[in-house]
Structure formats: C-alpha cells, structure tokens
Amino acid sequence: MNLPRISPAHRTILILAPVITIVVVGLFGRVVFGSLTDLFDFQLYYQAVQNIIHGQLPWAYGVEFYYPPLAFVPLLIAYAISLIGGGFLVFAIALWVLMLICNSITTLCVYYIGLRLYSEKTAFVAAILNATAISVAYYTLCRFDSFPACLAMLAVLATLYGDKTYGYLASVLGLFTKIWPIVLFPFLWLYNARKTSLTTEGKTRAFT
C-alpha cells in the first residue's frame, strides 16, 4: 500500500493529539467524578481472560462477556503483560496503551482516507476531530472498542489505496472481533466493483 508522505509536524500532531485528549479526559474524570475512568468493562475482560486461562468458557461464573474470539487478542496481550506483577491494575494500564495505539492508527487512517477523497486541509481537520473527540477518548479508557474501530478504518484505507484483498480481510477480522465492522464488506465490494461488476469482483476475489 503506497501511502503519501506526511510532514513530520503533521505526523507528530496526529500521534500526540489522541494521547493528550485521553490524558485530559482521564484527569477531568478524576477531578470531577473522583475516578480516572469506569473500569467495569475492563474488570469483565479480566475475569473473562482468567476463565479461559483456567479452562472455562469466557462467560463462566456469570461473566457477561459475549464477544467473538478475536476480541481476546488485545485482552490476552494485556493479561500476559500483567503476569509480570500488578494484576488487574497492570492489565488495565496495558490495555489503555494498546487502545491508545489503535486510536492513533485510526487517526492516521482518517487522515490518509481524507487525503484520498478531499484536500490536505480537510483531511487534517477530520483527523484532528477524530483524535480530540471526547467520546473516542472515553471509550479508549473504558472499553476495547478502539480495536475493532481500527480494523474497520484499515479496511477502508486499504480499499481506497488499491489493496482490495487486505480491505476485505480487515473487515472480516472485524467480524470476529465485534461483529459490526463486517457491515463495511458490501460497501467495499460495491466500491471495488465500480469499474467492472459485482459478479466479476466476486470471482476475482474468490480466485486470487
């Protein structure tokens, strides 16, 4: 995938903007509500991983975890890091870092997608709006949703820059992470078939 070059200044801003926003939102929650963030979902994730480690189903013992299998990719990474010590606290910190990385990748995807469709200025503004959105920062601190969102944006990015197979693959991986990214699949198919036909595109993807 041949992506256009980003100026060092823009790249730095796009990477730091999500970090700064998340820190500000987290500190605001700490000062106003007395808690850095709502860790209820993180506790469910932690318990679900422990259930798996001990040979149980994720939802054993009343744990309300009903996500597809690839949802465990970031959770298992965070849990493995927590094994060095610190238990749930280290798990939460590791998962925050992983979700922040996903959020930064999503921001860069928004920028590159904007460059493909609009002007550089519009692309940069769109990326900054994503990076500084309070809702995005909150979910980064509370849930693993940044991971499937990242896969969805990678699917769109790959498709727009000509890597059709990777676009489909990312959307399918999203299906096995949190279902909804698969909604992109028919739109990717329609976009890829704009110069041929839906049938031709289907045959091409099936045999390549």
Q: What percent of the chain has pLDDT over 70?
A: 89
Residue 50 backbone zone (phi > 0: left; psi -120 to 50: alpha; other: beta): alpha
Q: What percent of the chain has pLDDT over 90?
A: 58
Mean pLDDT (whole number) for 197-205: 62
Mean pLDDT (whole number) for 24-35: 69
Whole-structure pTM value:
0.88
Can you give the pLDDT at residue 182? 87
User: Minimum mean pLDDT among 15-24, 147-156, 166-175, 196-205: which range?
Assistant: 196-205
Count CA atoms within 13 Å of residue 138 on its CB side.
Answer: 7
Mean pLDDT (whole number) for 84-96: 92
Over 80: is that where the pLDDT of 173 sits?
Answer: yes
Name the one residue in this structure whose structure tokens are 């999500």. Answer: 18
Can you give the pLDDT at residue 202? 62
Over 80: is that where the pLDDT of 180 sits?
Answer: yes
The answer for residues whose C-beta is within 8 angstroms of residue 160's C-beta and 6 or more apart is 113, 116, 117, 191
- Please tell me which residue, 35 or 132, carries the higher pLDDT value: 132
